[in-house]
């Protein structure tokens, strides 16, 4: 049986209290012993991170990150679930922002924009931005969501006065957002990498070349 998005949300709203009670503060064995360790291994969270928790449920993993002093923006499309998450995790209010959002709706996703969608980096004393790893769930790919997120991030970065954004990524994808080989902007990577995979985007249209080796923020572990 297939459910529409609204039907699915109604079911989650109806069962939110049961789920919150069942998961409690510690979640179940599967989450604690399988999901949490592996997700944490992939994220390698650091206090300098700003992490997006999608379909956050009652916020237990967000709380786990908050205990590590990580800042989190957590959302779910169930209004009742978010209400319960705020109540259960209120002691972490300084590190977690909970909100209602629909990951299948571009407008709803754009409303999640904040002032720090990127992690900082430095080139020759000029502060630039390094685009963090970007991915979209397979079921929602090829809809322009990733490009829309980057466009909004670039717009915010430009308003904040940043001149460049750099990214290490797929040479066939990021050029769609305007990225070109960083070498053409005078930016060199601090490690060996194919020229076409290390890219940069001039955010203000200037012809200024930086002519230096990028010094990543320690959050990148480079």
For residue range 4-25, list pLDDT tens digits in order. 878 888 898 999 999 999 999 9
pLDDT of residue 143: 87
Alpha carbons 169 and 19: distance in angstroms, whole number? 38
Average pLDDT over residues 75-94: 95
Same structural domain, 137 and 163: yes
Backbone φ and ψ of 90, nearest 5°: -60, -25
The answer, yes or no, to whether residue 222 has pLDDT greater than 90, is no
The residue out of 48, 75, 110 marking a domain boundary is 110
The residue out of 64, 89, 110 marking a domain boundary is 110
**What's this model's pTM, rounded to 2 decimal places?**
0.54
Tokens, residue 139:
């079921």
Average pLDDT over residues 62-76: 90
pLDDT top residue among 215 and 80: 80
Domain containing 47 equals 5-110
pLDDT of residue 156: 84
pLDDT of residue 118: 44
pLDDT of residue 117: 54
Give the CATH number of the domain where residue 176 resides.
3.40.630.30
Instruction: Please check whether residue 81 is in contact with residue 19, taking contact to mean a CB–CB distance below 8 angstroms.
Output: yes
Backbone φ and ψ of 63, nearest 5°: -65, -40
Instruction: Please check whether residue 49 is in contact with residue 220, taking contact to mean a CB–CB distance below 8 angstroms.
Output: no
Range from 7-11, 71-75, 121-125, 181-185 that averages highest in pLDDT: 181-185
Selection from 169, 163, 155 nearest residue 185 by Cα: 163
Alpha carbons 87 and 73: distance in angstroms, whole number? 16
Residue with the two structure tokens 């979640």: 27
pLDDT of residue 97: 93
* DSSP label at residue 131: P
Same structural domain, 139 and 98: no
Same structural domain, 48 and 78: yes
pLDDT of residue 181: 94
Same structural domain, 215 and 150: yes
Alpha carbons 95 and 191: distance in angstroms, whole number? 33
Query: Percent of the chain having pLDDT more than 90?
Result: 29
Same structural domain, 62 and 85: yes
End-to-end Cα spacing for the chain: 48
User: What's the structural domain count of the chain?
Assistant: 2
pLDDT top residue among 98 and 159: 98
């Amino acid at each position: 049986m297939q459910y529409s998005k609204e039907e699915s949300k109604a079911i989650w709203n109806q069962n939110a209290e049961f789920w919150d009670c069942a998961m409690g503060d510690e979640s179940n064995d599967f989450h604690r012993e399988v999901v949490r360790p592996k997700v944490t291994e992939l994220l390698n969270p650091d206090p300098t991170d700003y992490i997006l928790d999608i379909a956050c449920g009652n916020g237990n993993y967000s709380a786990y990150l908050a205990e590590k002093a990580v800042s989190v923006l957590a959302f779910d499309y169930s209004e009742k679930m978010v209400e319960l998450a705020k109540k259960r995790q209120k002691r972490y209010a300084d590190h977690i922002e909970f909100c209602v959002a629909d990951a299948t709706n571009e407008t709803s996703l754009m409303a999640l924009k904040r002032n720090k969608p990127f992690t900082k980096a430095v080139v020759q004393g000029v502060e630039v931005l390094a685009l963090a790893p970007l991915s979209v769930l397979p079921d929602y790919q090829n809809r322009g969501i990733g490009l829309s997120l980057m466009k909004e991030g670039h717009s915010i970065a430009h308003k904040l006065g940043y001149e460049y954004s750099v990214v290490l990524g797929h040479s066939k994808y990021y050029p769609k957002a305007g990225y070109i080989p960083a070498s053409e902007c005078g930016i060199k990577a601090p490690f060996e990498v194919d020229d076409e995979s290390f890219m940069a985007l001039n955010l203000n249209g200037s012809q200024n070349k930086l002519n230096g080796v990028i010094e990543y923020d320690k959050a990148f572990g480079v």
